[in-house]
Amino acid sequence: MKKLNILIIAALTTLSTTGCTTTKVGNPSQNSALNSVTSSGKNQKSGAMQNSLDSWLKDDWTPSVEKDEKIKAKYQDENRDFTLQEYVDKSEAYVKDKNTTTYNKENSHSERMKSMPVIGN
C-alpha cells in the first residue's frame, strides 16, 4: 500500500510540474485587441543583414531593373500575381546592367588566371 501511495504521489508530482512547461509563452495572435495589450513583437529591431539587404534593393537592384523598358512594360500591372519568371527577367536585367557598367577585361578573373606564370598561357 505504501508503494502504491508513493507511485501516485510521484505521478501527480510529475504531472503537476511538467504540465505548465508544455504551454508556449507569448503565442502570436490574430486578435488585434490582444496584441495591443501584449508586448510581443513591439521591441523587434531589424538587424544588420536586413538593413544591408534593404539598402541594396533600394540603391542597386531597383534602379537597375527600372532602366529596362521591356520589364517596365511587361510588369506594369500592380494587381498581377508574382511569378518566378518575373524574378528571372529582373535578375537578367540587373546582371546585364551591372556587367556593362562594372565589367572590364582587366578585372576579369579568367584574364587574371591566364596571366599567371604557371597556371596561365
* Residue range 11-27, pLDDT digits in tens: 767 766 665 555 555 56
**What does the pLDDT look like over 98-111, one tens digit per residue?**
876 555 666 677 77
Cell numbers of 121, please?
A: 598561357
In a domain, 30, yes or no: no
Domain count, the chain: 1
In a domain, 103, yes or no: yes
In a domain, 11, yes or no: no
Note down the domain range covering 103.
Answer: 48-115
Residue 115 has pLDDT above 70, yes or no: yes
In a domain, 2, yes or no: no
In a domain, 17, yes or no: no
Q: Give 117's Cβ-side CA count (13 Å radius).
A: 0
State residue 12 phi and psi, 5-degree precision: -65, -40
Q: CB 90: neighbour CB atoms within 10 A?
A: 19
Q: CB 1: neighbour CB atoms within 10 A?
A: 5
**What does the pLDDT look like over 39-79, one tens digit per residue?**
665 666 778 999 999 999 999 999 988 998 999 888 888 89
